[in-house]
Amino acid sequence: MALHEIFFLLSHLSVHPRWWFLGGILLFLLLAHEKHWKTLLSTAGAAGCAVILLQSYEFKNEMWSPYYRINYFPLRDMTVVNVNGTLHQIFFDFSEEVRRTAGLNQLVYDDFLKPYAWIRTPKNVLIVGAGTGNDVVIARAQGAEHVDAVEIDPTILLLGRELNSNRPYQDRRVDTIVDDARSFFKKCKTRYDLIIFGTLDSQALLSGMSSLRLDNYVYTLNSFLAAKRLLQPGGTVILYHMSPTAEIAAKIYHLLKAAFHATPIVLFEPNHRMFNYTFIVGDTHTPPPYANDDANRLEAIKVDLPSDDWPYLYLAFHAIPLHYLKAFGLLLAIGTILLIGSAGSVFFSAHDLPMFLLGAGFLLLETKSVTQMSLLFGSTWIVNVLVFASILVMIVLANLIILNIKRPPKGLFFSLVLALTFINYLLPVETLLGMPLLQQWFLGSLCVGAPIFAASLVFATLFKDSKDSLVSLSYNFLGAVFGGLLENATMLVGIQKIHIVILLIYFYALIASRKR
């Protein structure tokens, strides 16, 4: 638990990784046995060299957020922002003087302006995925009297505040909110004339332990319905997106059409700069003729629509991509080889199927917990920290209980896991979305914590009765890797049906434990 709190603090303070490594070295030296001084000395020396290398190998203009390594490169009339080594966004100088001399700035400015030709002048505007402020500058230039700018990454927001020459976040008519878009939709009580979805893209950053990207829950039917509820009568939604394939753009088109019961205006830019698709839906003027062609093209593409149960914008249909299976299959093979190498002949002379199944089941329970809480409270790093903190607390409590029970009721603990998982299957977490926030936290934590606690009791009971702890832990670890492979089944059947997989795993673990 102490390590978890240190992780929380370091993330909150955006500490450079070199200090994480240094802290790890010191902790290793404190905990290692003194008689292995040669090993200690060599390990500490190698780790020290790594820290020195990290110290010298630092990019100019580098910042660390709770999500990314951020590098920014100020150029003449713009600033390029990379995250984790890939392009994330560019913020431009949109002043009239610069636009007259810098052709690219004028082209990008015009791209942002295009949808405003088909809507009324907005007074109250919400921007989700506000980033470093491009959308804010455009909205204010188009007459917006007040702008709420929502951005999940506080460091990206800080960059826009300090380096954007247009100074969008210094405007007293602009309020900045650090939050996840879905979380803000749920909590917000204000109504807007215009809601803008910026080019929201998580850069493939996964949410906690699951295969979901940070932006997955933004592009679902439920999300667009939530945004629709925040619109004034006659309000409009503008959505900018860089869609690498027509199938992704078609998904967004069909989602907006289903949520608003209207055909969106589609503006496609083949020679794109910041984005290639712009969608406009709501109270709009007559669309331009070329927009009808783009809309008809997307209308003809058949795709599965993302929902909160299947939030996969980047998959055309319910299927598991082959490269996912290859990657996890390789991890399973590597894990097996490493365990055989460490356990030796013991790995073959004995086996522990119940612990293998418990490893797979517990991994799926953890994944489900992160996914559920991300939907309820947003895919922010703080939510993930709280989820993992609650999981660690449940594990510690379960072990303390088992240590003080001579004959733990194994059958009762298994029954508890099965019953709680079945209840979660019957009552999806979406049913909590309409409740007050305090009730959501309480019931949501109960949905997450109770099955984890029961599963921890089962694990501690079987591990206590294990004849060979090395074999049990080896098979449990291998089971966790296998559980990671099973987690991809959500892409095929949806998140809610993963409860059935968990039920089957723990049921067979119960049967196997009786034969143990």
What confidence score (pLDDT) does residue 101 get?
86
Q: Please tell me the distance from the alpha carbon of residue 472 to that of residue 466, in angstroms, as a whole number.
A: 7
Please state, for a pLDDT cut of 70, what percent of the chain lies above it.
Answer: 80
What confidence score (pLDDT) does residue 407 get?
86
Among residues 487, 497, 323, 326, the alpha carbon closest in space to that of 425 is found at 497
Over range 476-489, report the average pLDDT: 89
What confidence score (pLDDT) does residue 471 get?
83
CB 280 within 8 A of CB 120: no
CB 51 within 8 A of CB 25: yes
- Neighbour-count burial of 465, counting CB atoms closer than 10 A to its CB (0-12 exposed, 13-18 middle, 19+ buried): middle
Residue 167, by phi and psi: left (phi above 0), alpha (psi -120 to 50) or beta? left
Per-residue pLDDT at 210 exceeds 50: no
What confidence score (pLDDT) does residue 294 get?
86
The CA distances from residue 376 to 26, 242, 279, 453, 483, in Å, are 38, 27, 27, 20, 24
- The average confidence (pLDDT) of the chain is 83
Per-residue pLDDT at 455 exceeds 60: yes
What confidence score (pLDDT) does residue 446 get?
80
Per-residue pLDDT at 51 exceeds 70: no
What confidence score (pLDDT) does residue 25 get?
63
Tell me the pLDDT band of 207, cut-offs 50, 70 and 90. very low
Per-residue pLDDT at 80 exceeds 90: yes
Q: Which residue has the tokens 């490269």?
A: 323
Report the predicted TM-score, pTM, of the whole model to 2 decimal places. Answer: 0.82
The 8-class DSSP code of residue 314 comes to: T
Among residues 353, 325, 354, 369, the alpha carbon closest in space to that of 484 is found at 325
- The runs of H, that is alpha helices, within 229-349 are 246-260, 289-299, 322-343, 346-349
- Neighbour-count burial of 74, counting CB atoms closer than 10 A to its CB (0-12 exposed, 13-18 middle, 19+ buried): exposed
Over range 322-330, report the average pLDDT: 83
CA angle 9, 12, 15 (to 5 degrees): 80
Per-residue pLDDT at 345 exceeds 70: no
Contacts of 364 (CB under 8 A, 6+ apart): 483, 486, 487, 498, 501, 502, 505
219 or 8, greater pLDDT: 219
CB 123 within 8 A of CB 169: no
pLDDT in tens, 442-451: 777 787 789 9
Average the pLDDT over each of 53-62, 215-224, 299-308, 468-477 and give the range with the smallest value: 53-62
Please state, for a pLDDT cut of 90, what percent of the chain lies above it.
Answer: 43
Indicate the pairing of strand 146-151 with strand 174-178. Answer: parallel
Tell me the pLDDT band of 116, cut-offs 50, 70 and 90. very high
Q: Chain-centre distance of CA 440, in angstroms? A: 20
Q: What are φ and ψ of residue 62, in 5° steps?
A: -115, 135
138-160 as b/e: b if 16+ CB within 10 A? bbbebebebbbbbbbbbbbbbbb
Structure tokens, 320:
């598991």
Domains of the chain and CATH, by start: 2-59 (no CATH), 121-299 (3.40.50.150), 322-514 (1.20.1250)
Q: Please tell me the distance from the alpha carbon of residue 218 to that of residue 185, in angstroms, as a whole number.
A: 10
135 or 342, greater pLDDT: 135
Over range 282-299, report the average pLDDT: 80
251 or 378, greater pLDDT: 251
